[in-house]
Structure 1
């Protein structure tokens, strides 16, 4: 089987690695890919926001399966175009992709279907938004409605902060079209977790709950990033919380999608907040694997992930056959110094000569030079993924390899998994 993976980040490299290990796959094409992916797949140039170009490439390489990694092509209907052209495709259509592409659509969907979430109101008029903010309790959250590369969310402690945030989005156009409509939302104070589902209509696999580390600094301090590390399974989602997630969030969501005529085939990422009383509430939906969560979840599957992806794409998923390993996984992200602010590119990366069987290096922001060297080409450069019988074992293994990788001004957090490990000690 020939598989085409759309995207260029760590999530897509982890999908390429899964394809490389699959007995089903004979050839892998990554588009546009990155320097690390070029070692595992044939990389082809591609504008991932151009559905016609994606379909043309799928025809050119005669793909048997297309996996759409990022949210942007899904939000412009790439999966619809691929399916219309006859390709088995993993990723929701434009109707399902609205769950990530519009926060206001999602808020209405959640409230209409009585799925636990924070209360929120939408605004396009700055004066009306300010009037609402004056009457609100703080802290609260302001979100740009559309896709803003993970940056369109503000937690505001005061009215003055909120007014500035609304002005940046609605008046100063800081997030372009994505911020022309905003969602003002109740602040939820709890512990976050990520729930990844592989979905085929109303059938689904719930992968182990995970926790991402968004803050750049240790102890979860500093600026927000695309993710400095993650681990799974996350103990905050205990058996009681998981039961509530399934019964009060997942099943009603998939039932409502079907009722709305949406044949969802792909990943549904449910970001939840576990409140102090143990009640999980939906923070957000994403319509693709999380990055860096994807990198730690695929290795925890006993089955071939490619077979499960193909089953979802064809509407043939059999959840009762799926098993998850009794192990832990962790990823430590290595970033360019200065990230998420200004950072340098083009530094040569030095790698260890060999890796243990339970470790992989996933590339996100790398490039291969004409001389064959791998150099930095982004803020989050790569991630080291390790599995182990305990979370501490996975952490020790991951950091032992991180210390063998180097480039000028590399940065990584030294405390991935700290919250759970602190509880366990």
Structure 2
């Protein structure tokens, strides 16, 4: 397992049911973590968690020496590393998506970007084309802020080279939803459950976008039938278009949709499981996950992915100052008591140890912006949410922050059972 965050902890936990798991580089809260690199480890299957190593061609390098890898090559990973190319691919595939235009940092294109913005109505959407760890999107009703964001991105001030090419999209309104499919180069097999992420740092969806402050699955407004409709709309046409372009895509496709009054529209594709979406999805898969991923990697994916009907809610506990200026190095207390809450699993994301030595038995300390993923599981969203927040109350470090409204609307909507 390649990666070091909460997503990789969730993967390692699920895979450990049937396999011996090594995580590189991992973190002190993930069993089996090692400083050895993926190319130094002899494994039957390599699962690459984050988008960075995928875009950098790690899957290609491993496949070149005969390894079985779950994760696309750099060509397929361009769906995420170049939002401009992703929009081109999905438009060619006939997938409904927002109108858009792309611009680079040259003066002529910069002027064209500002002029294009003036043709649009709010909300205004400005995206970095390159990788920005889930934080490269501005959505605003304020046109002056949108103009300033164009300059900050194209200047390289906001996101370095990742922002020197941008995508400006037609603004859309409606609830957002995420779906996942496993792909083996020929087929895309849907995970029949929808997930909703909460990106903004503050309650009520206020403040800047983050990597994700929590999520919930399943959803009352996106049942399994709707999941199937959305999946048919996006996954198979995109996989077919990739194949037409010579891309043998083996890994996960993560589709973000907006359910607009005019019908569903694709917001984006990512080439890895979401974080924290994986934390409420992977534990609910009842198939042998290692066999599923190995089948996709080998081009022989099984026909069906089975997901349990129970619900999961993830609350992300973050540090003071996240996402702009995270404070780290504070001792985490209450972790064992939090883990004792019935139905709760805690995945470690941005953690370190007080003495810097993984596995030394020292206290865990905050080591990144998003520190712990507190996941409650129950027969419905309300029960899962209650368990997650019960566990959060046991946790503490100076300046610990979290949203108090994760899955509140979904809990109310699913009162009496999930669909």
* TM-score normalised according to structure 2 size: 0.91
Equivalent residue for 2:2, pick from 6, 14, 27: 6
The residue correspondences of 1:404-419 to structure 2 (distance < 5 A) are 404-419=394-409
Is the alpha carbon distance of 1:401 and 1:173 closer, same or farther for their aligned partners in structure 2, counting shifts above 3 Å?
A: closer
Distance 2:122 2:22 in 1: 49
Q: In 1, distance between residues paired with 2:165 and 2:292?
A: 37
Deviation of 1:406 (Å):
2.0
Point out 4+ residue stretches in structure 1 off by more than 4 angstroms.
none
CA offset at residue 45 of structure 1? 5.3
Render the CA deviation track for 1:39-78: whole Å, top value 9, x for unaligned.
x1132155xxxxxxx42x2xxx312211111001100111
2:354 maps to 369
Query: 1:240 Cα deviation (Å)?
Result: 5.3
Residue number in structure 1 paired with 2:371: 381
Q: 1:173 deviation in Å?
A: 4.2
Partner of 1:115: 95
Q: Does 1:147 align with 2:127?
A: no
Shift of 1:158: 4.0
2:15 paired with 1:19: yes
Given candidates 73, 77, 86, the residue that maps to 1:93 is 73
1:29 touches 1:44 (CA, 8 Å); kept in 2? no
Give distance in 1, aligned partners of 2:403 and 2:170.
Answer: 30
Q: Deviations over 1:366-407 (max 9, x none)?
A: 012336111111111011112111111111111222222222
| Partner Cα distance (2:148, 2:322) in 1 | 24
**Structure-2 residue corresponding to 1:44:** 35
Q: How many Å separate the matches in 2 of 1:275 and 1:156?
A: 17
Provide the residue aligned with 1:174 in structure 2.
Answer: 158
Query: What pairs with 1:7-406 in structure 2 (closer than 5 Å)?
Result: 7-20=3-16, 22-23=17-18, 25-26=19-20, 28-37=21-30, 40-44=31-35, 46=37, 54-55=38-39, 57=40, 61-124=41-104, 125-207=109-191, 208-239=193-224, 241-277=226-262, 279-320=263-304, 322-350=305-333, 351-353=335-337, 355=340, 358-370=343-355, 372-406=362-396
Does the 8 Å contact 2:48/2:54 carry over to 1? yes
Task: Please tell me whether the aligned partners of residues 358 and 387 of structure 1 are also in contact (alpha carbons under 8 angstroms).
Answer: yes
Which 5+ residue runs of structure 1 have no aligned equivalent?
Answer: 47-53
| Shift in Å, 1:253 | 1.4
Q: 8 Å contact 2:197–2:213 — kept in the other structure?
A: yes
| Runs of at least 5 residues in structure 2 that lack an aligned partner in the other structure | 356-360
Q: CA deviation at 1:162?
A: 2.5
Tell me the CA shift for residue 358 of structure 1.
3.3
Residues 220 and 414 of structure 2 are in contact (CA less than 8 Å); yes or no, is this contact kept in structure 1?
no
TM-score by length of 1: 0.90
Partner of 1:49: none
Question: How far apart, in 1, do the equivalents of 2:281 and 2:254 lie?
Answer: 12
